[in-house]
Amino acid sequence: MRNATSGGPGRLAGNGAVAARAPAKVNVHLGVGKLRPDGYHELQTVYLAVSLFDTVTVRRAEGLSLTVRGEGAGDGRGPSSVPLDRRNLVWQAAELLARHAGISADADLEIDKTIPAAAGLAGGSADAAAALVALDALWGTRATRGDLATLAAQLGSDVPFSLLGGVALGTHRGERLSPVLARRRWDWVLGIAGDGLSTPAVYAELDEMRAAGTLPDGAELASTEPVIAALRSGPTQALAAALSNDLQPPAIRLRPELRRALRATSDAGARAALVSGSGPTVAGLADDEDTAVRLAAELAGAGVFRTVRAVHGPVHGARLVG
Ligand code: ATP
């Protein structure tokens, strides 16, 4: 096994550190098909990258080590706590890229989290995408964007989008992406309610509700056309009317307080509110930046959310910083 080439094409700071950041996402459309024999659901989703970023900083070292700061930094246990060992997607990203490049996985990995864990915002995926970009630069592996996208898909269904950013249609498990043109900026308020929700638990609840006939069986997926057309040119009311998430009913069933959180977001003046991904984050669509900031202030005082943020999208995917 060879060692990483020194420096490579990346931007090595004076202290030998390389940093990259990647965004959270909101699924403005999340259609979930039937459970497939391989245990996955066929998805048709439209991702929007929003301005809440995690940063991953990497440094030369022997072997791998990991530090986590910020949102969810704790003892590494529990659904809202970020794992500190090889269960962490950043650790897995390092091992995968090193294997791909035929080098040994040597780096100190540091994650600065502002994206809450297990919130339906793909925080772990953002970290993995940022790690791929930062380590490619640190190790000089000269992976192409296509190579990184292939590795990203092996790490998780949302990781390719965290790498790409912007707006994209995701099919298969969400990892097959086609970029979508969005001509304008969209403003949101994100309300993070209580503890994290486990994504597999939300999918299992959806399967149960479908088996019981409480929900349609998922054989027919709703068209993504209306949401894509609305994203392209607006107005806000058109996107508000087109938002949909098949995981919202099971997320509400597992976390009934979400109903109140959605109502509070709409009552405060959001054009529409929906659960982001598998929840429990609520995304409220605002008319403009001022409205998003006002909604954030009002909802922060309403006592329904642990954290409230005004964000906008689309924003770029994982890239080097500094
Ligand atoms: P999903 O991408 O499955 O929809 P999510 O967006 O709801 O998930 P994430 O923040 O990605 O939530 O975390 C999901 C789980 O992934 C966490 O419960 C945690 O155990 C694990 N995980 C692994 N690496 C990370 C990481 N770097 N940050 C956060 N969670 C991580």
The answer on whether 125 is annotated among ligand-binding residues is yes
Which residue type is seen at 78?
A: G
Region 17-180: CATH code: 3.30.230.10
Query: How much distance in Å is there from the Cα of 84 to the middle of ligand 1?
Result: 12
Segment 261-306, tens digit of pLDDT: 999 999 999 999 999 999 999 999 999 999 999 999 999 999 999 9
Ligand 1, atom 31: nearest CA belongs to which residue? 124
Give the Cα separation of 267 and 295 in Å (integer).
Answer: 10
Contact 317 CB / ligand 1 (< 6 Å): no
Answer for the pair 307, 157: CB distance below 8 angstroms, yes or no: no
Provide CATH 3.30.70.890 ranges for the chain.
Answer: 186-313
34 noted as active-site residue: no
The answer on whether 120 is annotated among ligand-binding residues is yes
Provide CATH 3.30.230.10 ranges for the chain.
Answer: 17-180
Contact 88 CB / ligand 1 (< 6 Å): yes
Give residue 14's pLDDT band: very low, low, confident or very high (50, 70, 90): low
Give domain 186-313's CATH number out of 3.40.50.620, 3.30.70.890, 3.20.190.10, 3.30.420.40: 3.30.70.890
The answer on whether 117 is annotated among ligand-binding residues is yes
Q: What is the DSSP string of 14-66?
A: TTSEEEEEEEEEEEEEEEEEEEPTTSPEEEEEEEEEEEEEEEEEEE--SSEEE
25 noted as active-site residue: yes
Query: How much distance in Å is there from the Cα of 237 to the middle of ligand 1?
Result: 32
The end-to-end CA distance of the chain, in Å, is: 31
Neighbours of 79 (CB within 10 A): 13
pTM of the prediction? 0.93
Query: How much distance in Å is there from the Cα of 64 to the middle of ligand 1?
Result: 20
Higher pLDDT, 311 or 1: 311
Segment 220-245, tens digit of pLDDT: 999 999 999 999 988 999 999 999 99
Helix axes 123-139, 89-101, angle to 10 degrees: 30
